[in-house]
A and B are shown apart, each in its own frame.
Chain A
Amino acid sequence: MSDFFHKNSISHPMNRRAMLDRCGMGLGALGLTGLLQDEGLLGAPNPLAPKQSHFPGRAKSVIWIFVNGGPSHVDTWDYKPALEKMDGMTFEGFDRFTGFFANAVGGLMKSPFKFTPRGQCGKMVSEIFPRLGEHVDKMAFIHSGHTESNNHSPALFMMNCGVPRMGYPCAGAWATYGLGSSSRDLPSFVVMSDPLGRGLPKGHAANWGAGFLPSVYQGTHFRPKGDPIDNLHRPKEQDTSRQRRQLDLLAQLNRQDLKKNPHEEELAARIESFELAYRMQTAAPEALDLANEPEHLKELYGLNVGKSKHFAAQCMMARRLVERGTRFIQIYSGGMANQRSWDGHSDIKGNHSGFAQETDQPIAGLLTDLEQRGLLDETLIVWAGEFGRLPVAQKSGKPGRDHNPHCFTAWMAGGGVKGGVSHGESDEVGHKAAVDKVHVNDFHATILHLLGLNHKELTYRYGGRDFRLTDVAGKVIAPILA
């Protein structure tokens, strides 16, 4: 074969044709694709076929709690006693253009929340996370995160796609591209957004887009209202068995063509896509249906508590999806910006305690549930937003805090991460990352590493260049690896 056939860095297993020959007419009973997929032999045209990771990964799947709007690290996980002493003092040398509201910069402001030591490790945790505090021994904190934009949309793009601009593939898309799908009948990369009508994160679908990667890798956004997936419901008189027979007939006709053109791989991929669609119609509603979850688990997640009900349901769905093979899930806490998300420009106290109340018990419940099922070891939980918040007050009736691109805190748990550790430090007041700084590229490199992917090798050639999630940088944060 001549050398003009370009290959991307992930090679596909070849040839489905013999398999098709082998299974011949067995579709109706067995499900052609199921058979193929089970044997791991889906060929080149199926871009979602499971692929070999670069090395054995610790995590099989990722649930990323996206703390939308920019959570304040000094009010959540990054305890700053110095702020208490310096409360109200002018922050000398502070560039008032750091945040968004240069004319509302106030003095340094202590956290309105009490911090107490929690867990074996004694991590100082804000009172707004009473339940999550119980899990600090599972968590690896990164206190020295920093990013490249002080504005929501670019910072969201940075956090999701590694570049502060629209149009690049996000981490979930890269992971799916690198590993394929391990679900037979569900989307591999799922995004859930705020169901309370508070909008989508800024930048919308570009946050879970595939950029220049084939669009098959983009996140499937479950619509928060109505059917989570478009066209999931068959016309109402088209019952399962009738549609099954329809599909068998369709496959039979398509296979007649395949016989004439036995090497046409796109055709086989199409047969398969109908099979997966057929199964998805049953599998997706089943995966998202919490009716049969036992009452004690619903209690655990906070599904019966007014404030946290919606987020609890999403966390529980995430667990069900992970169990069924979905690779990458993002749940956005909060909607668009300002009071609709963690974007506490005014009343940081009310804002953060409100959103903490929505999420504290559900995330804690998720961690407990996964652990009890033995799934936590292979499921990476990520808690991170697009940036942190400033140690100075943003003047307002009730003071808030403005955006801070220089420092944020994130944590990871499960999926090959050490528990009860803290990596990196911010400066005395939490203004800037100071010790063992972690760039967003490093953060991404670590997530890919835990999935068994080398961020430098996970490339895609587009417009004449090999692109990566981590651009031209990124270093795995080794100290937090278990």
Chain B
Amino acid sequence: MKIDSISDFMDKLVLVITIFLAFSITASRAEEKLEFNRDVRPILSNACFHCHGPDEKKRKSGLRLDLESDAFKPAKSGDPVMIKGDAEKSELVFRIFLPDDDDDHMPPIDSGKSITKEQKEILRKWIEQGAEYQGHWAFASTKRPAVPQYPDAKHPLDAFLKKRLLVEGLSMRVEADKETLLRRVSLDLTGLPPTLEEMDAFAEDNTPDAYEKVLDRLLSSPHYGERMALEWLDLARYADSNGFQSDGSRSMWLWREWLIGAYNRNLPFDQFTIEQLAGDMLPNPTDDQIVATGFNRNHRLNGEGGRIVDEWFVETVIDRVETTSMTWMALTMNCARCHDHKYDPISQKEFYQFFAFFNSNDESGVLAANGKNGNNTMPFIKVAGADHKKKEVELKAKLEEAQAKAQASEKAGLAAAFEKWMNEERQAFANGKPRQAWIPLVDEKVTSKGGATFKRQPDGSWLPGGKNPTHDVYEIESPLAAGMFSGILLDCLPDDRIPQKSLGRYSNGNFVLTRVEAEIRPTEGKPMPVKLTRREADYSQQGWDISMVNNGNPGTGWAVDGPTRRKPIKAMFLPDSQVKLPKGGLLVVRFFHEALSQHNMGRFRVSYSERKVTSLGGKPGLPANLVSLLRMEPGSLKPGNRKKLEQYFKANARNPISQAQTKVAQAKKALDNFKNTLPSTMVMKEKPAPKDAFVLNRGEYDQPTDKVERKLPASLPPLAADQPLNRLGLARWLVSGDHPLTARVWVNRIWERLFGVGIVKTSENFGSQAEWPVHPELLDWLAVEFAKPSRLPKVAEKPAQAWDMKAMIKFIMLSKAYRQSSSAPEELYRKDPENRLLARGPRFRLKGETVRDQALAISGLLVPKIGGPSTRPYMPTGVWDETNRYGNLRNYKATTGDGLYRRSMYTIWKRTAAPPSMLLFDAPNREICTPKRSRTNTPLQALALMNEVTYVEAARALAQRMMNEGGDTVESRLTTGFRLVTARTPDKETLAVLKSGFERRRKEFNEKPEAAKSLIMQGTSKPDPSLDARELAAYSATASILLNLDRVVTKD
């Protein structure tokens, strides 16, 4: 039967033909040499290993078929299971060809396993050909295969593909047109569509390296890191909540920011690995390297009431084992939690030996007691995110500068400055113009008429204590040097030992001062009263103004809102004119509290002034005793007194050292304050000594059996002798270059991302159940090239380094395979529906995040800020409320600002109620590590694209761009819209369809202007008022269609 004739038949026949076709190719393969890994292992693994594989406990009849050493032993019956080269005498062949219902048929009918007829033939043939075993391909070390040589396929990737295509009788398509290519690379590298300017620039650039320049530009874009992070967030089970019952918030966005930054600065994958798995254990790790370890703190944390801590500690560690082995090795190690792995050479003991690398984090394994309110669970650190970094750098620089100045001024010495200061002060007093207005009293005596006691405080103030009489009078007696008396200053100071920590002794913290008297007592003669007529305060309680002091009415006075206002207050009391002080005289001041019971003053300080004062301002000046010293002849100053002055100078006077030290203190405080406001992120922190680990019977936390030590699975390469037996050693082991899985797994994942399906389709499993790679040599070549580059291109002039992610991606994108057109003849679609052979270019639906980001970018709504905390865009009302009755993530409210228009990767992620519009597009819920998303097309997606406010609003915004930036004709505006969404110019037919649709819409809206108004009011952003509402509505309707076009939600 000829393939050409298929189309003549009923469609359903195609299936039959396809099977026939498949069979005929298989049959032809039977003539060539069969390979164990490619042809035989998948059959045995699927049908036989469950009972005749690695799991010792499940093994039947002692027969083991996965190891060559065991497979040729005689069966229990004594018959040889397999004889190399003699299928007929091999028991295995005999058994599988028995009728299904025969008791001896293998696999047994009740096992649920079966072998097809073709598979039976393959087994027979393979034994006849000598039954040669191979180790599992993915566990074998990678060797660089020779690149096939073809004159028209210089790129190694194309050469390997071509070799296979020739066998299949196929060839690659032509290169996609420039428009398609630009959109493809822009979406693949940044997750954002090209702008009109970028389209024009590329279209006009006819230089031979125009395409490469575009790649370099995109690889240098800060949005590259955002796009790269998407898959990694699924692997890392990143979320903003803790999961489980109350599912409250946590803060891990700093780790996400680290991730984006790591991709953007092109951190090589080996370092990328080491920092995430063990950054905390590096010598002198930076904050950044510690933040990176958040990778293994992104797991859920159980905070349920009845949880058992030991149980969840084990679950937490196992999650780490599962995630690490899946992410770097694509191994399902968790299968070995309860028993030896059924398919892969990982025993239960080896699982717990691996477990022992991850169980010594300094943690409880469950949510912290205060974790339900959004606090992070130890260990965590506080660090600056990108938003904070600039400020932090500034503050650190200021501190360093201040410290440098302080050191310099100390070096310069003080002596000269002190002399200078002393002279200046002395001169000022001599001139009757002291530099500071207020001179605190020093040697004064303070007494209470009512029996209170007073204690001197270090700052020279007095604290009353003891009895608090009904109406107290405080008397202050102070010797003064000869000079002028110009008034007194009263400082009232809050104190912890005063009621309400306030200013007054009454239980509510208040006081009322009714009268202030002053008199000067000369050594001889009568005391001279000084009438204090001017009163001023920097604060008075309403109705108790300072002016009520000394007003002759003892029922009124000055009060200070003691119960509520606990701040220092100043008041001054001045005579009409200055009074001369006699030598050796005394100043006496009395404070009366006559208005309310027990409303006596709290802590206070009294100063006086020698010069005319007009304001309360200024710091307290030289204390009175020092003023006396200054007045002495400089020569007569005793060393002790000189020292007193010097001490005062150092501590109080403006001098270079104290100034510099103040600045240091200020800068340090600013930095500390800033650090306290920094966000926290959970990290790994190794305990000083490793915690014991045990094999857990059936994986149960409370059934420990044998104690185990850290060890790597025997089927994988050993740890290098110079490496520590801990997480750091394990991380380095993964990227040592000898590890067979790490590079293969990464290269395969990037292949999957760019081409739709991996070279190994089971990108989530490289164990023995993995699919045989469709291009095994190419996979190995790429894996070797990744770790030890020889052909990788420069990226933006930088030569490729080992494990260079940007260079590897660019390398793949430079291939013909990637650049070819995706359109292809029917036969090719039939033959290769998943496009594994790459006889055409990639074409598949964009990720959910990209669908939304693209709509925001096209419409101009996107706020392109990178990093930062998660945001709250539109989500259905009640989205958070169904899942939990507790926890702090309930009652969802969308933000009103920029957060509505940030990229989707920043949308706040609550695990039990993940963003619905992302789930619709196959996003996982991030409960656990998810290596792969499915790619479905469902009506619920269509509903979101048609009706969700994000897209309706985006359509309006796009319509505005069409009207504002698209020229004046309908054609040019529609063309602009079409270019924005597809990156290409519409053909005539398309434009005609769009135009007729638009005209109809415009006619409708002209008839129903109110419908037009309502349509354009969707969303938070406001329509451009300068545009005609009916026109705008018609363009919005068209824009909605444009955004929903298949080719728009598809990467082509």
Binding site for B on A (CB under 8 A): 1-6, 11, 13-15, 17-19, 41, 44-48, 100, 166-167, 187, 193, 199-200, 202, 204-206, 209, 214-216, 220, 223-227, 229-238, 242-243, 245-246, 249-250, 252-254, 256-257, 260-267, 269-278, 280-281, 336, 456-457, 462-466, 468, 472
The verdict on A45 contacting B25 (CB below 8 Å), with A5-B833, A262-B826, A463-B332 known, is: no
- Considering only CB atoms, which chain B residue lies closest to A474 in the complex? B112
List A contacts of B1045 (CB < 8 A).
250, 253-254, 257
- Min C-beta distance of B121 to chain A, whole Å: 12
- Considering only CB atoms, which chain B residue lies closest to A250 in the complex? B1041
Contact A263 B943, beta carbon cutoff 8 Å: no
- Min C-beta distance of A217 to chain B, whole Å: 9
Interface hits, B886-943 → A, CB 8 Å: 912-913, 916-917, 919-920, 922, 925, 927-928, 934, 936-943
- Min C-beta distance of B904 to chain A, whole Å: 16
List B contacts of A237 (CB < 8 A).
1011-1012, 1014-1015
Contact A100 B306, beta carbon cutoff 8 Å: yes
Contact A277 B946, beta carbon cutoff 8 Å: yes
The verdict on A464 contacting B997 (CB below 8 Å), with A3-B25, A18-B11 known, is: no
List B contacts of A205 (CB < 8 A).
883, 912-913, 925
List B contacts of A257 (CB < 8 A).
1045-1047
Instruction: Tell me the bound Cα distance from A45 to B1050 in angstroms.
Output: 15
List A contacts of B764 (CB < 8 A).
462-463
List B contacts of A462 (CB < 8 A).
764
Interface hits, B959-1002 → A, CB 8 Å: 989-990, 993-994, 997, 1000
**A-B CB contacts (within 8 Å), total count:** 232
Contact B927 A229, beta carbon cutoff 8 Å: no
Contact A265 B829, beta carbon cutoff 8 Å: yes
The verdict on A252 contacting B7 (CB below 8 Å), with A223-B876, A270-B1046 known, is: no
List B contacts of A464 (CB < 8 A).
45, 332, 343, 762, 765, 767-770
Instruction: Tell me the bound Cα distance from A202 to B246 in angstroms.
Output: 11
List B contacts of A46 (CB < 8 A).
937
The verdict on A281 contacting B943 (CB below 8 Å), with A14-B11, A249-B997, A270-B937 known, is: yes
Instruction: Tell me the bound Cα distance from A167 to B15 in angstroms.
Output: 33
Contact A231 B946, beta carbon cutoff 8 Å: yes
- Min C-beta distance of A297 to chain B, whole Å: 29
- Min C-beta distance of A41 to chain B, whole Å: 7
B948 at the A interface (CB under 8 A): yes
- Residue picked from A225, A238, A243, A463, most chain B C-beta under 10 Å: A463
- Min C-beta distance of A6 to chain B, whole Å: 6
- Residue picked from A44, A100, A199, most chain B C-beta under 10 Å: A199
B761 at the A interface (CB under 8 A): yes
- Give the 10 A-B residue pairs with the shortest CB-CB distance, closest first: A464-B769, A277-B942, A263-B829, A276-B939, A277-B939, A214-B934, A456-B112, A464-B765, A237-B1011, A216-B936
- Considering only CB atoms, which chain B residue lies closest to A236 in the complex? B1014
Instruction: Tell me the bound Cα distance from A254 to B982 in angstroms.
Output: 13
Instruction: Tell me the bound Cα distance from A252 to B187 in angstroms.
Output: 25
Instruction: Tell me the bound Cα distance from A235 to B1040 in angstroms.
Output: 12
Number of interface residues of B (CB under 8 A): 99
Contact B343 A465, beta carbon cutoff 8 Å: yes
List A contacts of B29 (CB < 8 A).
3
Instruction: Tell me the bound Cα distance from A336 to B762 in angstroms.
Output: 37
List A contacts of B1046 (CB < 8 A).
254, 257, 267, 270-271
Instruction: Tell me the bound Cα distance from A264 to B937 in angstroms.
Output: 13
List B contacts of A6 (CB < 8 A).
761, 771
Instruction: Tell me the bound Cα distance from A262 to B825 in angstroms.
Output: 8
Contact A15 B11, beta carbon cutoff 8 Å: yes
List A contacts of B25 (CB < 8 A).
1-3
Contact B831 A1, beta carbon cutoff 8 Å: yes
Contact A235 B18, beta carbon cutoff 8 Å: no
List B contacts of A245 (CB < 8 A).
997, 1000
The verdict on A253 contacting B936 (CB below 8 Å), with A231-B947, A231-B948 known, is: no
Contact A230 B943, beta carbon cutoff 8 Å: yes
Instruction: Tell me the bound Cα distance from A262 to B405 in angstroms.
Output: 76
List B contacts of A41 (CB < 8 A).
11-12
A-B contacts besides A223-B878, A234-B946, A263-B829, 8 pairs, CB < 8 Å: A1-B21, A214-B934, A215-B934, A226-B876, A257-B1047, A262-B826, A269-B937, A464-B768
Binding site for A on B (CB under 8 A): 7, 11-12, 14-15, 18, 21-22, 25-26, 29, 45-46, 112, 168, 245, 306, 332, 342-343, 761-762, 764-765, 767-772, 774, 822-826, 828-834, 836, 843-845, 876-878, 882-885, 912-913, 916-917, 919-920, 922, 925, 927-928, 934, 936-944, 946-948, 952, 989-990, 993-994, 997, 1000, 1004, 1011-1012, 1014-1015, 1018, 1037, 1040-1041, 1044-1047, 1049-1050
- Min C-beta distance of A185 to chain B, whole Å: 8
Other-chain residue from B825, B834, B928, B1041 in contact with A167 (beta carbon distance below 8 A): B928
- Considering only CB atoms, which chain A residue lies closest to B941 in the complex? A273
List B contacts of A167 (CB < 8 A).
927-928
Contact A233 B947, beta carbon cutoff 8 Å: yes
Other-chain residue from A271, A277, A336 in contact with B885 (beta carbon distance below 8 A): A336
Instruction: Tell me the bound Cα distance from A277 to B912 in angstroms.
Output: 26
- Min C-beta distance of B118 to chain A, whole Å: 8
Instruction: Tell me the bound Cα distance from A254 to B1052 in angstroms.
Output: 14
Contact B836 A4, beta carbon cutoff 8 Å: yes
Contact B937 A266, beta carbon cutoff 8 Å: yes
Other-chain residue from A225, A261, A472 in contact with B822 (beta carbon distance below 8 A): A261
List B contacts of A5 (CB < 8 A).
832-834, 836
- Min C-beta distance of B885 to chain A, whole Å: 5
Instruction: Tell me the bound Cα distance from A205 to B923 in angstroms.
Output: 14
List A contacts of B913 (CB < 8 A).
204-205
- Min C-beta distance of B23 to chain A, whole Å: 9
- Considering only CB atoms, which chain A residue lies closest to B46 in the complex? A466
Instruction: Tell me the bound Cα distance from A183 to B994 in angstroms.
Output: 33
- Considering only CB atoms, which chain A residue lies closest to B836 in the complex? A4
Contact B1044 A17, beta carbon cutoff 8 Å: no
Contact B916 A230, beta carbon cutoff 8 Å: yes
Instruction: Tell me the bound Cα distance from A48 to B843 in angstroms.
Output: 22
- Min C-beta distance of A26 to chain B, whole Å: 17
- Considering only CB atoms, which chain A residue lies closest to B927 in the complex? A166
Other-chain residue from A233, A253, A281 in contact with B994 (beta carbon distance below 8 A): A253
- Min C-beta distance of A330 to chain B, whole Å: 15
- Considering only CB atoms, which chain B residue lies closest to A199 in the complex? B885
The verdict on A249 contacting B1041 (CB below 8 Å), with A199-B882, A236-B1014, A266-B844 known, is: yes
Contact B922 A260, beta carbon cutoff 8 Å: no
Contact B885 A253, beta carbon cutoff 8 Å: no
Contact B15 A14, beta carbon cutoff 8 Å: yes
Contact B1040 A227, beta carbon cutoff 8 Å: no
- Residue picked from A215, A225, A232, most chain B C-beta under 10 Å: A215
- Min C-beta distance of B244 to chain A, whole Å: 9
List A contacts of B12 (CB < 8 A).
13-14, 41
Instruction: Tell me the bound Cα distance from A256 to B993 in angstroms.
Output: 10
Other-chain residue from B342, B826, B928, B940 in contact with A229 (beta carbon distance below 8 A): B940
List B contacts of A44 (CB < 8 A).
833
- Residue picked from A271, A273, A462, most chain B C-beta under 10 Å: A273
- Considering only CB atoms, which chain A residue lies closest to B834 in the complex? A5
List B contacts of A199 (CB < 8 A).
882-885
Other-chain residue from A48, A206, A229, A250 in contact with B1044 (beta carbon distance below 8 A): A250
- Min C-beta distance of B696 to chain A, whole Å: 15
Contact A14 B14, beta carbon cutoff 8 Å: yes
List A contacts of B21 (CB < 8 A).
1
6 A-B pairs (CB sep. < 8 Å): A15-B14, A249-B997, A336-B885, A464-B769, A465-B342, A468-B112
List A contacts of B768 (CB < 8 A).
464
- Residue picked from B922, B942, B944, most chain A C-beta under 10 Å: B942
Other-chain residue from B765, B928, B943 in contact with A231 (beta carbon distance below 8 A): B943
Contact A19 B826, beta carbon cutoff 8 Å: no
List A contacts of B843 (CB < 8 A).
261, 264, 266
Instruction: Tell me the bound Cα distance from A411 to B542 in angstroms.
Output: 79
